[in-house]
Amino acid sequence: KAGVTQTPRYLIKTRGQQVTLSCSPISGHRSVSWYQQTPGQGLQFLFEYFSETQRNKGNFPGRFSGRQFSNSRSEMNVSTLELGDSALYLCASSLTGFGTDTQYFGPGTRLTVL
């Protein structure tokens, strides 16, 4: 079974631009979660999608948004980029999103904002 894939792997943007990151979950997984990883803050939960619906949301500004498609693939969008948005963005998929299911993480997208 193919693992979780994320594209692109690296991105360089400038302040004020917007960016879209993509995540393809493991086949059959319906839950996709997104996290922001920075050296000082660790991993912070952005949001979780299940069957095309946003089920949970972390404490991030409205500039961060996402969506999930009928094939469970998910995209995350960040508008009006700020320097502080530079981070590794990880997505993870699981069957249902419940704690009994193992979350499988992708390799991440490294976003650098100049």
Partner 1 sequence: AQTVTQSQPEMSVQEAETVTLSCTYDTSESDYYLFWYKQPPSRQMILVIRQEAYKQQNATENRFSVNFQKAAKSFSLKISDSQLGDAAMYFCAYQFTSGTYKYIFGTGTRLKVLA
Which residues lie near partner 1 (CB under 8 A)?
A: 3-4, 33, 35, 40-45, 48, 55-58, 90, 92, 97-100, 102-103, 105-108
Nearer to partner 1, 19 or 90 (CB): 90
Residue type, 103: Q
The least distance separating partner 1 from the CB of residue 15, rounded to whole angstroms, comes to 26
**104 bridge partner residues:** 93
How is residue 54 written in tokens? Answer: 């946003």
The least distance separating partner 1 from the CB of residue 96, rounded to whole angstroms, comes to 9
Nearer to partner 1, 4 or 81 (CB): 4
Short-list 106, 100, 38, CA closest to 76: 106
Rounded CA separation 68/30 (Å): 9
